[in-house]
Amino acid sequence: MRAGLALYRKELRTLWPSGLVWTLMLSGDLLYRPFTERLDEAGWPQIASYIQPGEGSVGGWIMLLLTGALAYSAFPREYDERTIHYLYALPIRRGSIFAAKVLAAMTLITCALALLVVTDGVQGAWSDSSFLGGQWRLELALAHFALQLGFCAIVYCHALLASVLRLFGVLPYALILVVAGIVEDVYAPAAWIDPTELLVARYEGQALVVAWGPWLAHAAVALVALAASAALWLGPAERIGKGFDRARASLLGRLGLGCLGAAVLASLVVLLAVVAGLDPGDPTDEEPDPTDAPSIATVERVTDRYTLQIPESHLAQAASLVADADAIHRRVQEELGADPGPRLVADLTEVSGEHLGIASWTHIRVGLVHERDPVQLRRTFAHETAHAFQHRLSDRRQSEEARATRFFAEGSAEHIAYRVVPGDAAHRQARLVAAAMWERHGLGTDDLFDGERLTARYETTLVYTLGERWSAALSATCGDGAIGDALRAMGRAETSRHLEGRAFWRETLGAFGCDVEAVDAAFAELMTQDAEELRADLDRLPRIGGGVTGAQGGAVELVALLDRDPDPSWRFLARVRADPGASDTEVVNVRGRRDPSAPRRVTFRVPRALLPASRFQLAFALLTEPRGWPYAEPWQWASAP
């Protein structure tokens, strides 16, 4: 027993460099996040992104690589350093040697994952904003900790078995993962074969859902792999290793191993080609504009008002924006009647499928890499710059009162962006969507003043389109500087806290002599004018009804029915979320397919793996422009058959 403990401690000392790597990879953000971001502006789900619905697989791949490296440093290291014979000569059973190595590795993994829980919880605790979902929940944190630990244990068992054949042991597992991808494309429920799917977060309401079937299947196979690796490493592993050494020492052996590797590689290529040919796609879809991946290396450009961080690979694309940056800042400043404030750090390395940019007090992030339209890029830059001014002028009150102000935050930034970087076609499309939603759904300003009620019933992008028109009405009623005046009024020390929407805006606007009812009247008149001006286009937009019609294979089928023929270029989306409390990033979008023989019928196939729960919310939406705002019907409840 004492010899086993000594060996266990020896293994821990040997693994400490790996522990440092684990700590830096999983919890390294603690070293830079407090110095680069405002911790009170990001909630726990934003910091611990693996807890968000549909997330977790990316972190799973990181843990898979780290765990595999840990397993490969167990017995192969002893053979490479020729210390295995010394271990076997010790007065200790070989089974105890195997157990000491496994326990030491799992101890390191457990400590690294526990530290991840602590560091994410500490960073997330700085934000208490319910709007951002920032509350740390011990039971949820521990549940994800247990899932991650179980996942790493499963991977470690397989990696130990693979390490018997050194790098050749990785090839069969790579082949299995490729085959799993093919099977998943054909039969979606088979997605569980990919072990990283075990970490994808899914919820029923607020409760984490654990897919016990896949977990038990993976655990059973992992135990078999662990037993096999023990038998091999404690028995014929040495003979196998010497056989590979002899093979590598001869020309014929090297040729044989090369042919084996080439055969496996060829099999992978063939399988990937099969995957590429499984789904011909929608012939009406446009080819995506190819975008080169950004380089890791960045270049810094400093202007009077910005420090811009640019991927080295996209310097040419950023050149015109860098040249215009200070002029955009000056125009935004003039629109708000504000002083210049501190220099802003503009991170242009942002790559996101969920937003074009985000901002805080002194930092903005803008998606340069995926934005090919220079006009839209400058408009997004102006929008995010306006957000930075909003945070400063309102002394963050706009974020604190997000339920009453989200429509104004996004809408006024849009309004300023259109004034700074005009775009008649884009603005017209946004006004069309706003007019259609306003007229058809009977929306009122009180819907805008209550962000939670608006989000529960309607498409959340309304805060941009309708918010922009309300901001235009505010400027027309109370003067060109009214947006800046409203922000400064929010930041006054004497302003009441957490009033309900209309009361909040009555006090805010009254602080500089503006009347909320007068703005409401101007807003209603402006929406009526927009509807009449855009009547021809508005009448072309179909109303969309429908719901769940059944299931086929591993997908749920949805059908949308239109009340008039659509334009062939329009795109239809089925938007799916768990419940009204889901954030924008938790909404799943699925493209529809149209049958040319039935133009008023649109079919959607939603893989069950993408559904947040058996009962979910569904909204049908229409895009008249690929980069435009969606017109959407209200959210409705649906159930998977």
pLDDT tens, residue by residue, 434-463: 999 999 988 888 889 998 888 889 988 899
Label residue 361 by pLDDT band (50, 70, 90): low
Count Cα atoms within 13 angstroms, Cβ side, for 56: 21
pLDDT in tens, 61-73: 888 888 888 888 8
Residue 413 one-letter amino acid: A
Q: What pLDDT shows up at residue 312?
A: 83
Distance CA 299, CA 297 (A): 7
Report the candidate in 168, 203, 169 with the shortest Cα–Cα distance to residue 53: 203
- SS3 at position 602: strand
Q: What is the mean pLDDT of residues 608-625?
A: 88
Q: What pLDDT shows up at residue 282?
A: 38
Mention every residue, 6+ apart, whose C-beta is less than 8 A from residue 71: 105, 155, 156, 159, 160, 162, 163
Residues β-bridged to residue 594: 602
Distances (CA, A) of 232 to 75, 229, 489: 11, 5, 73
151, 199 Cβ separation under 8 angstroms:
yes
Report the candidate in 319, 425, 440, 331 with the shortest Cα–Cα distance to residue 377: 319
Query: Which one has a higher pLDDT value, 400 or 533?
Result: 533
Residues β-bridged to residue 544: 562
| H-run or E-run covering 27 | helix 16-27
348, 309 Cβ separation under 8 angstroms:
yes
Label residue 291 by pLDDT band (50, 70, 90): very low
102, 16 Cβ separation under 8 angstroms:
no
Residue 621 one-letter amino acid: A
Which alpha helices (DSSP H) does 421-542 contain, by range?
424-441, 445-449, 451-457, 462-478, 482-490, 501-510, 516-533, 535-540
Q: What pLDDT shows up at residue 210?
A: 78
Q: What is the mean pLDDT of residues 44-56?
A: 74
| H-run or E-run covering 66 | helix 57-72
Distance CA 236, CA 232 (A): 5
The sign of the torsion formed by the CA atoms of 431, 434, 439, 440 equals positive
Q: Please, what is the Cα angle at 34 between 28 and 36, to 5 degrees?
A: 95
533 Cα distance to chain centroid:
38
DSSP 467: H
Distance CA 492, CA 398 (A): 12
Q: What pLDDT shows up at residue 261?
A: 59
Mention every residue, 6+ apart, whose C-beta is less than 8 A from residue 425: none
- Do strands 298-302 and 571-577 pair parallel, antiparallel, or not at all (unpaired)? unpaired
Distances (CA, A) of 30 to 138, 323, 504: 19, 35, 37
Distance CA 608, CA 209 (A): 14
Q: What pLDDT shows up at residue 585?
A: 77
Query: Which one has a higher pLDDT value, 87 or 302?
Result: 302
DSSP 542: P
| Positions of E strands within 323-450 | 344-347, 357-359, 363-366
172, 225 Cβ separation under 8 angstroms:
no
Report the candidate in 493, 492, 505, 332 with the shortest Cα–Cα distance to residue 407: 505
Residue appearing with tokens 């529960």: 456
Residue 418 has pLDDT above 90, yes or no: yes
Count Cα atoms within 13 angstroms, Cβ side, for 277: 6
Residue appearing with tokens 């611990």: 48
Mention every residue, 6+ apart, whose C-beta is less than 8 A from residue 186: 278
- SS3 at position 189: helix
Question: Structural domains in the chain?
Answer: 2-170+191-248 (no CATH), 293-393 (3.30.2010.30), 399-540 (no CATH), 542-639 (2.60.40.10)
Residue 3 has pLDDT above 50, yes or no: yes
pLDDT in tens, 292-349: 555 567 788 999 999 998 888 888 888 999 999 999 999 999 999 999 998 998 888 7
Distance CA 399, CA 418 (A): 23
Residue 468 has pLDDT above 90, yes or no: yes
Least confident of 252-261, 397-406, 423-432: 252-261
Least confident of 69-83, 228-242, 325-339, 502-516: 228-242
Q: Which burial class, exposed, middle or buried, applies to 96 when counting CB atoms under 10 A from its CB (0-12, 13-18, 19+)?
A: middle
Residue 236 has pLDDT above 70, yes or no: no
Residue 133 has pLDDT above 50, yes or no: no
Q: What is the mean pLDDT of residues 132-140?
A: 64
Distance CA 157, CA 222 (A): 6
- Does this model's pTM top 0.75? My answer is no
